[in-house]
Amino acid sequence: MQSYDTLVEALDDLKKKGYTLDFNLANDGLVCLDKDLQLSPRQFHIVDYFRFEGMSDPDDNTVLYTIESVDGQKGTLISAYGPYADEVSGEMVEKLKIV
Q: What is the pLDDT of residue 99?
A: 43
Model-level pTM? Answer: 0.83
What DSSP letter does each residue of 7-72 carry, written as one string? Answer: HHHHHHHHHHTT--EEEEEETTEEEEGGGTEEE-GGGEEEEEEEEEE-SS-TT-EEEEEEEEETTS
In terms of Cβ atoms closer than 10 Å to its own Cβ (0-12, 13-18, 19+), residue 83 is: exposed
The predicted-structure confidence for 42-91, as pLDDT tens digits, reads as follows: 999 999 999 988 665 655 688 999 999 999 999 999 987 654 455 666 77
**Residue of 27, 26, 11 whose CA lies nearest to 74:** 11
Q: What is the pLDDT of residue 79?
A: 85
Residue ranges covered by each domain of the chain:
7-96
Q: Provide the residue type at 46 as one letter.
A: I
